[in-house]
Amino acid sequence: MSATNRTLLVGYDLLNDSKDYSKLIDHLKTFDAWWHNLDSTWLVRTSKTASEVRDELKAYVDAKDHVLVIDVTGDNWATYGFNDKANDWLRNHV
């Protein structure tokens, strides 16, 4: 694993309505920096790989839930309808 921070996109579908997913959210907020302006989509800054983050998140979801983690470091991006704070985070971290 490289010590260089990367930006990872984390998306999920949480299918168990009766489960408390607050620990998943709390874990996502522990990363070096995080961005969360869409319902089930996060961007996190970390030195961990996508697989390492996925494996960590599996502890907070059910077997039928879906989790996607993609390294988007340096990828081109565009937004519509986001405020300046959200766009500034993207500009500084992606």
Four-residue CA torsion sign, 61, 67, 43, 73: positive
Longest dimension (CA), the chain: 38
pLDDT tens digits, one per residue of 56-82: 999 999 999 999 999 999 878 898 999
CATH number assigned to the domain covering 6-93: 3.30.70.240
69, 53 Cβ separation under 8 angstroms: yes
pLDDT tens digits, one per residue of 2-36: 467 999 999 999 998 888 889 999 999 999 999 99
Q: What ranges do the domains of the chain cover?
A: 6-93
